[in-house]
Structure 1
Amino acid sequence: MDSPPFSMDSPPFSMEGLDQALSADFISLGLSVAGLGVLSHVSIFRTLPVEEYLYGLLGLYIVTLCLITLAYITVTNLALLQVLVRVGWIAFAFNVALTSSIGIYRLFFHRLHRFPGPVLSKLSRFYDAYLAGKNVQYNVEIEKLHDTYGDFIRTGQSDMILGV
């Protein structure tokens, strides 16, 4: 049976502790990283204007994945393919948890969640971009949404368009 990721025999900030953490099984590794994805949504993405810091956050994400890859290569005795699979699993678990947390928040807990509108529009601005690009008549599409949903419609994460 494997030892837990952090045993009392080796402190977590030693090379042995780092090796044990990196060698954790896939389930506990995925759950830990998924927890970090949800925590980053709650602590960073709900409080920070992401549009202003998008390139910095993307750079931080890429640097973090590179450092995790480097740590796997230097600390563990795993083959390169195993390292890439583990880093891919870490990125996948983080991204799925982050996007799921954002989606659940926007659908059920956002301050405008009670207003009617297309579900895809509540989740992302891509649907509105699709509507705007469709025949390049966003006003006609908005009028169709008003006919379907009524005077008040939610067309984005924090936008609301009032009917006439």
Structure 2
Amino acid sequence: MVLSISSFPGLFSAATGVALHHLLFRHGEWDNSAPTIFGSYAAVFAALHVLKSTGPVVGLQDTNVYYLLVCHLLGLFGGIIIYRVSFHRLRKFSGPTLAGVTSWYINILSAKKLHNFAVVDKLHRRYGDYV
């Protein structure tokens, strides 16, 4: 049995997310490029949606474009989480696991009273100098 991309489009889409993180996003600082990245994703998604609605596209005949986008994003974010928890150079520092996965952790903790300094001080007292 021959496997092709059109046989498992969701799996292929998730693999592109993992590959994109491993080959591109893992290197360098991407915080300032977020609007450009979001715009690029929106443009590709819109182009796929338009192509799909105007007629059959090779490999996308029976596949929903939203499904492909969700699979790609799950692969991308899943790859990021696995990398940060298992392979990142800073993974061995003590601290909450969620703090190592995302910067939203400290934002959510400090949003309750808007006292980021108190939250960070509490984390330092619990885990030491490096959190």
Q: TM-score, normalised by structure 1?
A: 0.68
Displaced runs of 4+ in structure 1, greater than 4 A? Answer: none
Alignment pair present for 1:53 and 2:57: no
Q: Which runs of 5+ in 2 are unaligned?
A: none
Once superposed, what is the RMSD of the aligned Cα atoms?
2.4
Alignment pair present for 1:114 and 2:110: no
Matching of residues 53-92 of structure 1 within 5 Å: 53-76=33-56, 86-92=64-70
The code of the aligned residue for 1:57 comes to I
Which protein, 1 or 2, shows the higher relative CO under an 8 Å CA cutoff with sep ≥ 6? 2
Using the TM superposition, give the Cα deviation of residue 4 of structure 1 relative to its aligned residue in structure 2, in angstroms: 6.0
Indicate which of 141, 144, 152 corresponds to 2:130.
152
Say which is worse superposed, 130-139 or 86-95, in terms of deviation: 130-139
Q: Which runs of 5+ in 1 are unaligned?
A: 6-20, 154-164
Equivalent pairs counted in the alignment come to 128
Q: TM-score, normalised by structure 2?
A: 0.83
User: C-alpha separation between the residues in 2 aligned to 1:149 and 1:55?
Assistant: 34
User: C-alpha separation between the residues in 1 aligned to 2:125 and 2:36?
Assistant: 41
Structure of greater Rg:
1
